[in-house]
C-alpha cells in the first residue's frame, strides 16, 4: 500500500504529518520525494547506509561526423540542442534525456553520456526504512531524482511518500500510482485556494484523496464545506497547539511531545487506509 502526503502549498505541515504517520506505524517505509528541499531526515535522524548518483543521458556530438543538417534540433522539443554556425551546441541543463536527437541523427553522430543531477540516500531510523533524494543545486528537473527514489519502494512495507508542496511536475511524479493521497491544508483563504488546485491534480491522476486540516480551529468551516461539496473524506484535524509548535522549533517531532497527536495520526492513517481499500468514503 502506498500513501502519498501532499499539499497545495508549502508550510501546511505536510512533512510533519508524513513523518508522524511513519513514526506511529513503527515499521513503515518513508520516501522523501521533496527532492529540492528534503527535510524529513531532520526529524528521523536516520543512519544512511547507501548512496547512489542519479544521472540522465545527455547528447555529445561528434563534430567531425556531423553534417549540420539540424534534424537533432528539430527533434528536441526542449531546445537543448541547436546548430550554431559550423557547430552543434548542446545545453545539458535543458536536456530531458529523451534520446530523440540520437534517433533523429542520420549520420549517427550523437552519443549519450550520463550527467549527474542528484543523489538518492537510504538507511534506517529504528525500524523505519528511509529513502530520500536530493537534487543538485541549480538543476531544473526534479523528476528524474523522484523516480529514482520511488524505485527503492519496498512492496512488503506500507510506503509513505512525502511529496513536494504545490501542484507542479514534482508533485505529479511523486503522487502518481499511489493508492491514496492525503492532502494537508490549513484553514486560511490561501490554504483553501491551493487545496482546490491540489484536488484537481488528484482528479486528473485518478488518485483518490482525503483531507487533513492542520492548525485546526477558527476558519475550518470553508474547508469543511469544500470537502462536503467535493465528497472528499475529512480524515482528521490537527489542533493549533503551542506545544506542537515548540517541539517543531526544537527539531523534535511533535508526536513525542504531544501524545494525543500520536493517537490522532493513528486514526488519520486508519481512515486513509480504509479509503484506499474502498471501505470508507
- pLDDT for 281: 53
Output the domain CATH number for residue 95.
3.30.70.20
250 by Cβ neighbours in 10 Å (0-12 / 13-18 / 19+) ranks as exposed
Instruction: Name residues of the chain where pLDDT drops below 50.
Output: none
Output the domain CATH number for residue 35.
3.40.50.300
Residue position matching grid coordinates 523528476: 143
231 φψ region: left (φ > 0), alpha (ψ -120 to 50), beta (else) = left
- pLDDT for 251: 85
- pLDDT for 218: 80
Classified as helix, coil or strand, 30 is strand
**Same-domain pairing of 244 and 183:** yes
**Same-domain pairing of 35 and 6:** yes
Instruction: Identify each DSSP E strand in 217-274 by its residue range.
Output: 234-239
Q: Which of 205, 193, 128, 123 is nearest to 163 (CA)?
A: 205
Question: Which residues, including other chains, have CB under 8 Å from residue 88's CB and lie 6 or more apart?
Answer: 61, 63, 66, 68, 72, 73, 81, 82
How far is 48 from 204, CA to CA, in rounded Å?
A: 36
Q: Report pLDDT digits (tens) over 175-200.
A: 999 999 999 999 999 999 999 999 99
How far is 109 from 105, CA to CA, in rounded Å?
A: 7
**Same-domain pairing of 169 and 99:** no
- pLDDT for 92: 93
**Structural domain boundaries enclosing 219:** 2-54+117-277
The total number of structural domains in the chain stands at: 2
How far is 16 from 37, CA to CA, in rounded Å?
A: 14
Q: What is the DSSP letter of 271?
A: H
Task: Check: pTM over 0.75? Answer yes or no.
Answer: yes
Which of 65, 91, 116 corresponds to the end of one domain?
116
Amino acid at each position: 500500500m502506498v500513501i502519498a502526503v501532499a499539499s497545495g502549498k508549502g508550510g501546511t505541515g505536510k512533512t510533519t504529518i508524513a513523518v508522524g504517520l511513519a513514526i506511529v506505524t513503527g515499521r513503515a517505509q518513508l520516501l522523501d520525494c521533496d527532492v529540492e528541499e528534503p527535510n524529513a531526515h531532520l526529524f528521523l535522524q536516520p543512519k544512511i547506509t547507501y548512496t547512489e548518483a542519479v544521472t540522465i543521458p545527455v547528447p555529445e556530438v561528434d563534430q567531425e561526423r556531423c553534417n549540420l543538417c539540424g534534424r537533432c534540433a528539430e527533434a528536441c522539443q526542449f531546445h537543448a540542442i541547436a546548430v550554431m554556425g559550423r557547430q552543434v551546441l548542446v545545453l545539458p541543463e535543458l536536456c530531458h534525456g529523451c534520446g530523440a536527437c540520437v534517433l533523429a541523427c542520420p549520420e549517427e553522430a550523437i552519443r549519450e553520456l550520463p550527467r549527474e543531477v542528484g543523489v538518492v540516500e537510504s538507511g534506517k531510523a529504528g525500524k523505519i526504512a528511509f529513502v530520500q533524494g536530493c537534487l543538485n543545486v541549480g538543476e531544473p528537473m526534479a523528476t528524474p531524482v523522484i523516480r529514482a527514489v520511488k524505485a527503492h519502494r519496498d512492496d512488503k512495507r506500507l510506503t509513505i511518500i512525502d511529496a513536494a508542496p504545490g501542484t507542479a511536475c514534482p508533485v505529479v511524479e511523486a503522487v502518481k500510482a499511489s493508492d491514496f493521497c492525503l492532502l494537508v491544508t490549513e484553514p486560511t483563504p490561501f490554504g483553501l485556494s491551493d487545496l482546490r488546485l491540489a484536488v484537481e491534480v488528484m482528479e486528473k491522476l485518478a488518485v483518490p484523496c482525503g483531507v487533513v486540516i492542520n492548525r485546526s480551529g477558527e476558519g475550518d468551516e470553508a474547508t469543511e464545506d469544500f470537502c462536503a461539496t467535493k465528497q472528499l473524506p475529512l480524515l482528521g484535524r490537527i489542533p493549533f497547539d503551542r506545544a506542537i509548535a515548540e517541539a517543531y522549533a526544537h527539531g523534535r517531532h511533535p508526536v513525542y511531545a504531544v501524545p494525543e497527536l500520536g493517537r490522532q495520526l493513528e486514526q488519520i492513517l486508519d481512515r486513509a487506509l480504509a479509503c484506499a481499500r474502498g471501505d470508507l468514503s
